[in-house]
A and B are shown apart, each in its own frame.
Chain A
Amino acid sequence: MRFMLDPTVAEESPPIPPAPRLGDLASKRLGFVDNSKLNADLFLSRIAAELAGRFGVVVGPVIRKFAPKDYLSKANIAELAKCDAVVQCFGDCGTSTSVSVADAVELERRGIPTVTVFSTAFAQAARNQAEGRGMRALHLVTVPHPMHTAPRAVIAERADKAVESIVGRLTRDLSRKRMALRLLRR
């Protein structure tokens, strides 16, 4: 573009580091966000029960959005801010992903470690959208796509398989190796 002006803007959002992770989960109070995608309630209830039963988590508020396109309200965020960490379910379409990302970044910015579950078809979009908000290290867990049309038994199975990863993302910072892999994947 020798003689032409550039139509783009290179400036990126100021970086937002994720909140420090918890180390361990015993007696930690967790909040949960059900974004009202079909099956999110089933998935989350299974995860919450596992986290309580196996890891000693105290199950705090469960917030259910009216629609996946809706952001957490100020009152929701104030309630979640009283928790040690938050788990959100799930992004398996466009706005359930992008709005979960927006809420995750807002919670992390306030120092609340947050893990969001995305289906494989939307995980990279989540990373891109988080990066656009300045968060280059979004703590996410992936599950197979789709979730909202999967049979209930499959949802339960996927929840069970996701528990260890959710615990990992709640308790440990993202390693340099994992960050490098993410950059390579882009």
Chain B
Amino acid sequence: MTAVDDDHELFFERGRTDGLPVVMPTAEKVARMVAAAGRPAEVIIGPIPPRWRKATIEKIAINAVMAGCRPEYFPVVLTAIDALLDPDCQLYGIQTATNTTTPLIIVNGPIAEELDINSAGNLFGAGWRANATIGRAVQLVLRNIGGDFAGETDMATHGQSGKFTFCIAEAERNSPWTPFHVDAGFAPTDSTVTVIGASAPQNIFTYGCDTGEEVLAHVIGAMMGLGHNNIIFPTGPLLILGPEHAGTLDRDGIGKKDIQQAVFERARIPLTRFGKRTVEGLKHRRSRWFAEVGDPQHIGVADRPQDVRILVAGGAGIHSLFVPTSFSYRPVTRKIVRQQ
């Protein structure tokens, strides 16, 4: 066994990895990562929950090297961590929950193509270095710096594979609509990172549907089951529409605002489907719904149309995704500042 192999085992033994081998963080590799930060190396980030430790740019760079990031990915990693620390993200709750929730990282703007962050086919799957390693770097930071460990502070009943990595880009060129970050108030030329507490995406397979209205009915129907997070949490669901679905909807005159309105008005579950104690709990936890919407016989998946968030991503095929969200008060979007 060589010295390098020994070091690999040492990282495992000391609990420094996510269960997969890491790239060895040599001083040279870390220095290259730090140089790409786009901000001074002495800047302190944090404290990072759940053990509330302050990170230097260098410490985050070490974890980014271990995750396999190229230096040019580093500003995305840093911006994602900045966004996660926004109180509206509720990172500490996400980290410590029994829920499957974990931060989903969404990249918008020119940087997504520059870094080859997958927004097309299999974007949640394996095989794309940027998606895999940016998401992994963030998770390693939460583990190695934040001190979040399964069974110690992370009390997830099941967890999910997104806790290894959970990073995508929007397919802006394949969308008939404005990009997600532009809807959030940024310029199309800005590059941004958005984070939100998210469970694993649920597939929406629109077999046999020809029209935008039929696609919309399936999207709404996918959110009508019991037990998903957007019944209990008022965060509002995230829809990741495949480009074919977006095209069909747009062709039939159904835009983003129409989808938001339709989900708000139609994705409502009769309270008769729930037991008495669940209804009592919903009336308390979703009190804004009962106070403001005027439909006391149902519970909707969003309190307001604007809480339904939509982006376009994916490859060819009649599939879209319903991503149940939770804990975060809203998606948090931050502009990426890059080295001049």
Binds A, one of B91-99, B117-125, B220-228, B306-314: B91-99
User: A73 near B: Cβ within 8 Å?
Assistant: no
User: CA A8 – CA B98 in complex, angstroms?
Assistant: 25
User: CA A12 – CA B145 in complex, angstroms?
Assistant: 11
Chain B residue numbers with a CB within 8 Å of A7 are: 16, 25, 59, 62-63, 66, 140, 144-145
Chain B residue numbers with a CB within 8 Å of A97 are: 96, 155
Secondary structure at chain A's binding surface: helix, strand, loop or mixed?
A: loop
> Considering only CB atoms, which chain A residue lies closest to B156 in the complex?
A94
Binds B, one of A74-82, A124-132, A136-144, A153-161: A124-132
Contact between A4 and B25, CB atoms less than 8 A apart: yes
Please indicate which of the listed interface residues B49, B90, B155 has the most CB atoms of chain A within 10 Å of its own CB.
B155
Write the A3-17 contact mask toward B (1 if CB under 8 angstroms, else 0). 111111101110000
Contact between A132 and B147, CB atoms less than 8 A apart: yes
Given that A5-B30, A98-B50, A132-B49 are contacting pairs, would A66 and B96 also be in contact in the complex, using a CB cutoff of 8 Å? no
Chain A residue numbers with a CB within 8 Å of B30 are: 5
Contact between A69 and B50, CB atoms less than 8 A apart: no
Q: Which of A96-111 contact B (CB under 8 A)?
A: 97-99, 102
User: A38 near B: Cβ within 8 Å?
Assistant: yes
Contact between B327 and A95, CB atoms less than 8 A apart: yes
Contact between B50 and A2, CB atoms less than 8 A apart: no
Binds A, one of B68-76, B170-178, B237-245, B281-289: B281-289
Contact between A93 and B98, CB atoms less than 8 A apart: yes
Contact between B97 and A95, CB atoms less than 8 A apart: yes
User: CA A2 – CA B145 in complex, angstroms?
Assistant: 20
User: CA A132 – CA B281 in complex, angstroms?
Assistant: 31
A14 nearest CB across to chain B (Å): 10
User: A114 near B: Cβ within 8 Å?
Assistant: no
Chain B residue numbers with a CB within 8 Å of A2 are: 3, 7
User: CA A99 – CA B49 in complex, angstroms?
Assistant: 12
Please indicate which of the listed interface residues A7, A9, A97 has the most CB atoms of chain B within 10 Å of its own CB.
A7
B124 nearest CB across to chain A (Å): 24
User: CA A128 – CA B50 in complex, angstroms?
Assistant: 9
> Considering only CB atoms, which chain A residue lies closest to B22 in the complex?
A7
Please indicate which of the listed interface residues A66, A93, A129, A134 has the most CB atoms of chain B within 10 Å of its own CB.
A129
User: CA A7 – CA B48 in complex, angstroms?
Assistant: 14
Chain B residue numbers with a CB within 8 Å of A29 are: none
Write the B248-283 contact mask toward A (1 if CB under 8 angstroms, else 0). 000000000000000000000000000001000100
User: CA A2 – CA B8 in complex, angstroms?
Assistant: 11
Given that A9-B59, A36-B285 are contacting pairs, would A1 and B10 also be in contact in the complex, using a CB cutoff of 8 Å? yes
Q: Which of A1-53 contact B (CB under 8 A)?
A: 1-9, 11-13, 36, 38
Contact between A129 and B96, CB atoms less than 8 A apart: yes
Chain B residue numbers with a CB within 8 Å of A179 are: none
Contact between B285 and A66, CB atoms less than 8 A apart: yes
Please indicate which of the listed interface residues B55, B58, B153, B281 has the most CB atoms of chain A within 10 Å of its own CB.
B153
Chain B residue numbers with a CB within 8 Å of A5 are: 25-27, 30, 58, 62
User: CA A54 – CA B114 in complex, angstroms?
Assistant: 70
B283 nearest CB across to chain A (Å): 11
Chain A residue numbers with a CB within 8 Å of B32 are: none
Chain B residue numbers with a CB within 8 Å of A98 are: 50, 92-93, 95-97, 153, 155
Given that A13-B52, A94-B98 are contacting pairs, would A38 and B155 also be in contact in the complex, using a CB cutoff of 8 Å? no
> Considering only CB atoms, which chain B residue lies closest to A186 in the complex?
B152
Given that A69-B93, A94-B99, A99-B93 are contacting pairs, would A4 and B26 also be in contact in the complex, using a CB cutoff of 8 Å? yes
Other A-B pairs, 16, CB within 8 Å; known A5-B62, A93-B155: A1-B10, A3-B3, A3-B7, A4-B11, A4-B24, A12-B53, A36-B284, A64-B284, A66-B285, A94-B99, A98-B155, A99-B93, A124-B152, A132-B52, A132-B153, A134-B52
Q: Sorted from nearest, which 10 A-B pairs have the closest CB atoms?
A: A98-B96, A132-B51, A94-B155, A94-B98, A94-B97, A7-B144, A9-B53, A7-B62, A93-B98, A95-B93
28 A–B contacts from the bound complex (CB under 8 Å): A1-B11, A2-B7, A3-B26, A5-B30, A5-B62, A7-B16, A7-B140, A8-B16, A9-B54, A9-B55, A9-B145, A12-B51, A12-B53, A13-B47, A13-B51, A38-B277, A66-B287, A67-B285, A93-B97, A93-B155, A94-B97, A95-B99, A97-B155, A99-B93, A102-B92, A128-B153, A132-B52, A134-B52
